[in-house]
Copies of this chain bind each other. A is one copy, B any other.
């Protein structure tokens, strides 16, 4: 029944984690980030998952990498490099221990997404961003351009 224990653990983690991460796209004030002039793309929170990661070190975050339809299609059809119009979103949340799960498991082993840290986008436009490999970059925090 080890599998079932994990499943029940997942339920517990969900309840805790959902406070922060289930929500729709962050509200944007429409302000464009400097350097590349990128705004938060509407509906990015509904994009499909490309990958997940944990950045330790100074960041110490859990992150999801999502892609818009153009990016996902290129990935799935193995048609890289990404075509113009591809947008990759990186959502980062604080990396926090799950007290509920760790109590259930009897040891420190579960880490879940805590409060959001920031949001990054990479936009492919081979002409507009020719000098940076065809990609423009932007970071947002609480809906506003942010350079930290």
Contacts and interface: CB of A to CB of B under 8 A. Distances in A.
Contacts of A109: 55-57, 59
Given A59-B109, A111-B53, A72 B3 contact: no
30 contacts: A3-B120, A3-B146, A3-B147, A3-B148, A6-B59, A7-B120, A7-B139, A10-B88, A10-B120, A10-B122, A11-B135, A14-B51, A17-B53, A21-B50, A45-B48, A45-B49, A46-B48, A49-B64, A49-B66, A51-B113, A53-B98, A53-B113, A54-B62, A54-B95, A55-B110, A55-B111, A56-B109, A56-B110, A57-B105, A57-B109
Interface string A71-111: 01001100000000000101101010010000001011111
Contacts of A66: 49
Nearest to A71: B22
A100 B43 CA distance: 31
Interface of A: 2-4, 6-7, 10-11, 13-14, 17-18, 20-24, 45-46, 48-57, 59, 62-67, 72, 75-76, 88, 90-91, 93, 95, 98, 105, 107-113, 120, 122, 135, 137, 139, 146-148
A62 B72 CA distance: 20
B53 A13 contact: yes
Given A4-B137, A23-B76, A90-B10, A62 B52 contact: yes
Given A3-B139, A120-B7, A14 B52 contact: no
